Amino acid sequence: MTPRTLLMAGAISIGTVAPALAQDTVTLQFWEGHSVQEEAATIEMIKAFEDSHPNIKINRTKVSFGTNFEKITTAVASNTLPDVSPIWGGFLTQFAASGQLLDLRQYGVEDMQEGIYPGAWSFGEWQGGVYGVPYAFDARFIAYNKQAFEEAGIAQPPQTYDELYADAEKLTKKNGNTVEQYGLGIGGADALVNFYVNLLYSFGGKIFNDDETQLAIDSDAGIKAAEYLSKLAESGYVSYGGSTGDDLRNSVITGRVAMIHDGPWIFYAEQQANADHPVAVAPMPVVKQGEKSVNFGSVGAYVVYKSSQHPKEAAEFVKFMGSPEAQQYRVKLLKTGVATNVSEQPVAIETYKEWPELKTAQEALNGSQIFPTSAKWPRAFQIILPAAEAIMEGDDPQSTVESAVRQASRQLRR
């Protein structure tokens, strides 16, 4: 062993032991791996936390989690976890079920529930316990190019799904084999599932049956959603695919695609492109005029690991990160906040002056539904994605979802 490695090994053990010795200040190990936009917000949130909690220091480590959380999963296997990290997808439930996460109710976290959107809050719950506090909640909506709508003579964004289809038709411009402007853009892979699930929710369907043993996407509503997706796919008005949401965002900014299904990332993309607010946003359409708009939202939550030496301080930290005072910095960086009254915070009010559309996006979070929190969700996702892709390729929607459900009955049993 070289002196250097000895030193580093020493540094690791000191990092975890020393705070226990020093009673007055506690240092929390916090892993995060956000985009430049999110990171800037996180840094401000941490600073605000440290200012108001002088006895707690946050040691922020930038971690590339790997697409599927490999970094955390392997750290569990060897018990080298930090105190706090973000978690997303179906992992929270699996981690909680395996006893890796701290139930935060013992630190009074349930007091926060009222101030947080129900969709986001439910993400952290598992079997009566609260294992995560949401820090990010991104609703999907329709983002559209205002000029494209004007040119096509469309006065307002589509209110119903029938209007969405009709508008997509009007907004598509072709020149021989080249499509110069697509009416609607749907991303590939995850973005396609987001769109399909949003349709499913809008049509009144659900992903799982009540006891989460079986997929329920072959319900009447599910088949209608699949048929609608199929109709879009066959229309020729849709730009589909590409693994990058950024591509679609830039397309709607430049007007190459007239509208897309996207979340608050669109604002950051606009800012990066130095564009003069060419994009407006609107809630998801409804099936019948007068219904309440339903949109899909994705959640990220911070969790405290059971192995933490400072559970109380860690709980304090994650609670703060979900509070309106902290969340206003996410608004400043053009994201939406998980706290219901974040829009009343001074920083947010200031930001809305330049970005009024951001407020529309924030309001979309009010009835936003999320992916199922079931531990079976990752497996279900891997069945739903190929099914949605098959529909986009022209397979019969009804038989595709039915065969997906059959396949799931095998897979979900494992």
Partner 1 sequence: MASTIKRQQLQIRLIFLGIPLAWLVVFVVSPIFLIFYLSFTDYNILSPAQMIGTLNYEDLWFDSLFWKATWNTFFYTVVSVPLGIVFSLLLAVLVNRRLPGAALYRSIFYIPVVTPLVAVSVVWILIYQTSNGLANYVLSWINVPPQQWLTSSTLAMPSIIVMSIWKGLGFNMVIFLAALQAIPRELHEAAWVDGAGRFRSFFSITLPLLRPAMIYVVVTSIISSFQVFTQVFVMTEGGPNNATVTLVHLIYRTAFLNLDMGYASAMAMLLFVLLVATSLTSFWLMSRNNYYA
Partner 2 sequence: MGQTVTTIVDVAQGATKVYRKSRRHNVLGNLFGFYIPATIIAVVMAFPLLWMLALSLRTEADVFIFPPRLVTLPVMWENFIEIWRDPRMQIGLEFWNTFVYATVRSVLQVLLSSMAAFVLARYEFRGRNTIFILVLATTMIPHEVMLLPLYILIKHVPLAGGNDLYGAGGTGWLDTFPGLILPGVVSGYSIFFLRQFFLTLPKEIDEAARLDGASEFGIYWRIALPLSIPALTTLGVFSFQFAWSDFMWPLIITSSDHIKTLQLGLALLSTIDGTQWSLLLAGAVVSSLPLIAIFVLLQRFIVTGINLGVGK
Question: Residue numbers of the site for partner 2 (CB under 8 A)?
Answer: 1-2, 4-5, 8-9, 11-13, 31, 33-39, 61-67, 70-71, 74, 77-78, 80, 88, 136, 244-247, 250-251, 253-254, 256, 265, 268-269, 272-275
Shortest distance (Å) from residue 324 CB to partner 2: 21
The DSSP secondary structure of 210-260, one letter per residue, reads TTSSSB-TTSHHHHHHHHHHHHHHHHT-EEE--S-HHHHHHHHHHTSEEEE
Q: Which stretch binds partner 1 (CB under 8 A): 90-98, 150-158, 205-213, 320-328?
A: 90-98
Shortest distance (Å) from residue 376 CB to partner 1: 9
Question: Which CB sits closer to partner 1, 102 or 139?
Answer: 102
Cβ neighbors of 168 (< 8 A, separation 6 or more) are: 183, 184, 232, 235, 237, 238, 258, 259
Q: Which stretch binds partner 1 (CB under 8 A): 15-23, 151-159, 207-215, 240-248?
A: 240-248
Q: Among residues 52, 55, 98, 341, which is the contact residue for partner 1, using CB under 8 A? A: 98
* Backbone angles phi and psi of 108, in degrees to 5: 70, 25
- Decide which of partner 2, partner 1, none touches 349; Cβ closer than 5 to 8 Å per partner kind: none
Using alpha carbons, select from 406, 371, 405 the residue that is nearest to residue 137.
371
E strand spans, 71-166: 84-87, 125-126, 129-130, 133-139, 141-145
Q: How far apart are CA 120 and CA 298, in angstroms?
A: 8
Shortest distance (Å) from residue 130 CB to partner 1: 19
Paired sense of beta strands 279-282 and 26-32, if any: unpaired
Per the CB < 8 A criterion, the answer to whether 319 and 133 are in contact is yes
- Decide which of partner 1, partner 2, none touches 390; Cβ closer than 5 to 8 Å per partner kind: partner 1
Shortest distance (Å) from residue 184 CB to partner 1: 11
Question: Which CB sits closer to partner 2, 244 or 409?
Answer: 244
Q: How far apart are CA 403 and CA 233, in angstroms?
A: 19
Q: How far apart are CA 199 and CA 164, in angstroms?
A: 12
The interface mask with partner 1, positions 17-46, x = CB under 8 A, is ------------------------------
Per the CB < 8 A criterion, the answer to whether 181 and 257 are in contact is yes
The interface mask with partner 1, positions 187-206, x = CB under 8 A, is -xx-----------------
Q: How far apart are CA 134 and CA 125, in angstroms?
A: 10
Shortest distance (Å) from residue 342 CB to partner 1: 32
Shortest distance (Å) from residue 284 CB to partner 1: 23
- Decide which of partner 1, partner 2, none touches 95; Cβ closer than 5 to 8 Å per partner kind: partner 1
* Backbone angles phi and psi of 26, in degrees to 5: -120, 135
Question: Which CB sits closer to partner 2, 5 or 177?
Answer: 5
Q: How far apart are CA 251 and CA 247, in angstroms?
A: 6
Shortest distance (Å) from residue 313 CB to partner 1: 24
Q: Which stretch binds partner 1 (CB under 8 A): 93-101, 111-119, 133-141, 156-164?
A: 93-101
Q: Which two tokens stand for residue 247?
A: 């591509």
CA 394 to chain centre: 28
Q: Which of residues 382-411 bind partner 1 (CB under 8 A)?
A: 382, 385-387, 389-390, 392-393, 395, 407, 410-411
Q: Under the rule (CB under 8 A), what is the footprint of partner 1?
A: 66-70, 73-74, 76-77, 94-95, 98-100, 176-179, 182, 185, 188-189, 239-244, 247, 251, 256-257, 378-379, 382, 385-387, 389-390, 392-393, 395, 407, 410-411, 414
